Structure 1
């Protein structure tokens, strides 16, 4: 196993394991999981996302390698929706197939493996990763929820334009896309956050990764994983292997070569990010499967990320 990969992934596994132990020992009750999810989704994640986007200069970003990444992601997202139908469950599973843990695992991994040149490529992706994938997924999920409620009689049927407008509003006034958009707009002013604002945001953002992973472990403690291990393994194989294969093929077709293509493929091979789990909690769908999938995907990545790095090194 690649030592760089192990050094990046094992802390993630240990944090999930710590949460699992806390749940099994009863230190955190199952009734507290929703409150913990609200803490992460409504406070910690917005702080992290706003601060990350508040320094992004759009004019300095290089988009061709990133375009290959998103093309592969949207193709896989669309295929998942086509196979599973237009509903909130399909949308959350499609997000799980395409959303990588690019910050907590990707930054140390790429930094150690490919140095500053690789980090420039990865940070270009990270600056748009959540903005594009999470905002797009939120719009799709909100449309799916509206469609489900209309069909079940919980919501009156509306013209499609009204439904789309409402879904877009719900997607923007949302604890994930809103701070991303606000941070990006702030960055274009050229101003810098004052220290008394930046420091609390930094501390809240730093708490996001470990607490989110601990919550995955807590939820895992109350989830019968044996029931989900087969579909969780299938989801993990799609995320860890099929996703990078699509990104590699599309990147090659677009003429992306060398380090930029390598970093995009390695980023696609990373395991599922914790935000997928938070979406499943928020929209109350497939919580058990997504919880198990995040854990299985992370463990499987010890092998699959090493394989992706080796394969790209042969080109």
Structure 2
């Protein structure tokens, strides 16, 4: 969201917004539900599958990204516009959201050492920056997904580890160090790998 949406719009134009919104909303739903179920079931063999699924779904619905997407879809479907003062206020808030969020995450990352969890961090970096974009490209080819949809999907797959993963690691208190390191390093390395992968597979 913080890097992918601005980058995709600047490279692909406003036409990619529906594809990005669909990918982001579906990704958040699947990620929160699957992680919640996986963590809770691994911690307790007596945990209810349906209960943990409901918990993951509830956490997803409360996610600000999902709330924003759902409200945007509702506003578009009902053809409801905001009064001009509210529109300007939201525009100003949206412009400041990304830098403020990145600054907040950066402050939290200062607690971890890059020298720790080298193997797990390295594996995460390789999977995220190389395996995931290649896998998404292959799946798009197999399912005959072309045009702006394929470009948006492959571009988002090439991006670094997202903040949601870091938030989940903190919330469930698992592998916080490796996730924090992977978030920082993939963000730095993506300045090289995103142009490399887009050129190699001709995403754009």
TM-score (norm 1): 0.55
Residue 173 of structure 1, aligned match among 59, 62, 76: 62
Cα deviations by residue, 1:158-200 (Å, 9 ceiling, x for unpaired): 7544443344334323444333323322321111122222233
CA distance in 2, matches of 1:237, 1:165: 32
CA distance in 2, matches of 1:284, 1:175: 21
CA distance in 1, matches of 2:157, 2:73: 23
Aligned counterpart, 1:297: 186
Aligned counterpart, 1:154: none
Larger radius of gyration: 1
Shift of 1:231: 2.3
TM-score (norm 2): 0.81
Aligned counterpart, 2:94: 205
Residue 285 of structure 1, aligned match among 156, 160, 174: 174
Q: Return closer, same or farther for 1:132/1:240 CA change in 2, 3 Å cut-off.
A: same
Residue 37 of structure 2, aligned match among 118, 133, 143: 143
Q: Return closer, same or farther for 1:183/1:286 CA change in 2, 3 Å cut-off.
A: farther
Gaps of 5+ in 1: 1-98, 111-117, 152-156
Q: Return closer, same or farther for 1:203/1:311 CA change in 2, 3 Å cut-off.
A: same
Q: Return closer, same or farther for 1:214/1:185 CA change in 2, 3 Å cut-off.
A: same
Secondary structure at the residue paired with 1:225?
A: coil
Q: Quick one: higher RCO (CA 8 Å, sep 6+), 1 or 2?
A: 1
Secondary structure at the residue paired with 2:78?
A: coil
CA contact (8 A) 2:16 2:148 kept: no
Aligned counterpart, 1:102: 4
RMSD of aligned Cα (Å): 3.0
CA distance in 1, matches of 2:67, 2:30: 12
1:76-87 alignment, distance < 5 Å: none
Cα deviations by residue, 1:220-242 (Å, 9 ceiling, x for unpaired): 32211110344223212111111
CA contact (8 A) 2:29 2:60 kept: yes
Aligned counterpart, 2:77: 188
Residue 132 of structure 1, aligned match among 23, 26, 29: 26
Q: Return closer, same or farther for 1:280/1:203 CA change in 2, 3 Å cut-off.
A: farther
